[in-house]
Structure 1
Amino acid sequence: MNGTPMESYANAPGWKTHATELDRAWKQFDDRQLAKIRVWAPQVLGPAYQDTGPMYYMFSGPDFLYANAFFPNASTYILCGTEPVGPIPDIAKIPQHVLPSALANLRRSLDSVLSLSFFITKKMKVDLRQVQLSGTLPVLYVFLARAGCTIDSVETVAIDKTGAFVPAGKGTTPGVKITFTGPAGRPQTLYYFTTDLADWAIKVNPNFGAFCEQQGQGVTLLKAASYLMHSDNFSKVRGYLLAHSKVIVQDDSGIPYRFFSKDKWEVRFYGRYLGPIKRFLKNGQLDLAKDNAAAAPPPLPFSFGYQWQPSRSSLIVATPK
């Protein structure tokens, strides 16, 4: 960075404070979560961990971290949420007197995922509305860098009802395409689209679904998904994932357990299922509780989903037969 326009920013007190505080928070998070997932995932997921096809993470927001931790070899990451993409960040255009507050706000937007393992949607929408470093892109930049990835190109995109890339305009779905080189040295691609996955919204705007159809079979992660697919109002995205997933790794807030019929799916349990947190009590699953208890599954060494303490977290790994 020496001799570049960024040198003065790197030496600014606001930047140094940001780097120090983020380094500290990140080390705690990596030790508690990601380092353990990096050991657990290849042992448990086997061939799916090595899969180089697309990776689906619906209702993810900008959570590239967990997508990459569970499936680091995916060629294409497909993330989506209702949070806006935002403009492509340019630190050099932020006035130095504004930089400390902009970076502090960026750190605040990371608080919940670093401490609880998931984004709090309402809080994130407020954090991402700041004038500087707005939208999901700054968060994606941080996560890619911290995952050891080098960003090669960034392009805001839009797709139409056929799933094709078109100029942004009425009836299109906005997104971003990030090409990057991962730690293994292979080129990979990350897409994030701003879209609503409710059935009524897909009927009005089928763009994202058409895009996904073109990607084909992939691996799937679902975490802290607000139990939306427990409702028939989200049957289309639920059906798509069931039909297009080589493996589904999820907590109980994803696809209801009853959809994994024993004649079509092999389901493995990890961690004790204790039911939903208070906010989602109506979404308890007696069949999941029964089968989880009968399986006496090994504990999870990391937290996952709304039950953010490892001793209370659980997930399933579902593979089609």
Structure 2
Amino acid sequence: MRFSTPQRLLPALLVLLAACNEPSTTKTEQPTTTPAAAPDTTVAVAPPAPAKPDTAAIHNVAAYLAGLPVSRGSDLQELETQPAWQAYAADADKSWTKYHAARTTKIEAWAAKELDSVRAASPTIFYPFSGPDFLNVTTMFPGSQTYVLLGLEPVGTVPSRANLENRKLFPALKESLWSVLNFSFFRTNSMAVNLKSVELDGALPLMLLFAARTQHQVEAVRYVQLLPDGQLAEADSTLIRKPGRKAVPGVEVKLRSASGQAKTLQYFSVDISDGQLGQTQEAALKYVRTLGPLTTYVKSATYLMHKSYFSKVRNLVLERSNFVLQDDSGIAMKYFKPADWQLTYYGTYKRPINLFAKQYQPEMTAAYTDKANPPRPLPFGTGYNWRENDSNLLLARRATPVAE
């Protein structure tokens, strides 16, 4: 049988395709050199940053106490809708507007000129006999990093929700603030009553309020105590509420200013008269000595450091301070040795108010009437003679700075 051409070619094509599909048995020569390693393109991944703590809750308490709006979404927003808080907030805004116009603006302008070099060299401010007065010290020294306040008033705690809802809170706040906003100082007797109430159980609520009203963000609050050797240690609210005679309870508040500067505010409730310091083994003074060179601020201090039985805190200030800014109720002029201190006088010196008439200083009158070195202007009121043109401040600069 004869086959057509395509039929004859089919077997040959099948053989050819089979040959193409066979695996090759020919060995390929491998290069004798080791190829360069491929570049490592792995990107190092940084560990995730720790979550920032939620500081809104504590700051909202401060804002609420100050009569300022709380954060959106805060559980305190519903309390702001109550007529009592709204009336309090409106009244507070008026009072603070008046206060800032009469005092803050003038202090800031004066201090920017007169305390410029002092501020630059004042990371730590010591403010004995302060009570909860963060307001005045931060206005005078807004760029400092640490503020250490001492007073007789109890430490207090962060107000609970029940206390924030208590309508007695607002009258208590207004009464506590009335004298400091109108006269620049707290009335000691009133503070002793107001800061032992259920609504305001100590200095902390007012310190939080002042922080909010001076445009600080409150980031954290912790209760602390001073051990007998002057070391700072943690404490709980039980010790803060009932500290006992030998304990030095305190609180530490972490703040951030409007410009973003981190600050630490500390307050300790302690009697620093010479006799009572033995009860606490001088823990407060030992702690202050660990803080390095100080700038000490004293205002409306009831002339206690004039007296012999406040010699230990007076000596501490004179030994560890590079600068002392005070009114005449601070350290008596006779304790500033001319060889150690350069004194600059501001304002007007008059006799102390009748309550403190015995603390009149003839040396101050002589200094303020020295025509060769007249006092410099003081364009605001401060201290017990609180009216403008009746007040005085003394700036003492140490001749030889304190060593670290």
Does residue 234 in structure 1 map to residue 310 in structure 2?
yes
1:313 aligns with one of 388, 391, 400: 391
Structure 2 residue corresponding to 1:8, chosen from 75, 78, 81:
78
Is the 2:157–2:205 Cα contact (8 Å) retained in structure 1? no
Is 1:272–1:293's contact at 8 Å kept on the other side of the alignment? no
1:9-52 CA distance string (max 9 Å, x none): 11111111111111111111111111111111121012211235
* Number of residue pairs matched by the alignment: 318
TM-score (norm 1): 0.95
Corresponding residue of 1:74: 144
Q: Which amino acid counterpart does residue 83 of structure 2 have in structure 1?
A: P
The alignment partner of 1:310 has SS state of coil
**Residue 162 (structure 1) shift:** 1.2
Q: How does 1:29-44 map to 2 (within 5 A)?
A: 29-44=99-114
- The within-5 A match list for 1:40-189 is 40-90=110-160, 92-94=161-163, 96=165, 98=166, 100-166=167-233, 167=235, 168=239, 171-189=246-264
Report how far residue 165 of structure 1 moved. Answer: 2.7
Q: Which structure 1 segments of 5+ residues have no match?
A: none
Shift of 1:95: 6.8
Bigger radius of gyration, 1 or 2? Answer: 2
Structure 2 distance, partners of 1:40, 1:33, is 10
Where structure 2 has 5 or more consecutive residues not aligned to the other structure, the ranges are 1-70, 400-404
* TM-score in terms of structure 2 length: 0.76
Query: 2:322 matched to which residue of 1?
Result: 246
Deviation track 1:79-126 (CA, whole Å, cap 9, x = no partner) reads 010000112223x33374x2x321221121011111111001111111
- Which one-letter code corresponds to 1:299 in the other structure? P
Structure possessing the higher relative contact order (Cα contacts under 8 Å, 6 or more residues apart): 1
Q: Deviations over 1:234-290 (max 9, x none)?
A: 000000001111111111110000111222111011111112111111110001110
Residue deviations 1:187-239, cap 9 Å, x none?
11000000001011112211111111111211111111101011110000000
Q: Write the distance in 2 (CA, Å) between the matches of 1:131 and 1:248.
A: 36
1:204 matched to 2:274? The reply is: no
CA displacement, residues 110-151 of structure 1 (integer Å, 9 cap, x when unaligned): 111111110011111111122123211110011000111001
Secondary structure (helix, strand or coil) at the match of 2:278 reads: helix
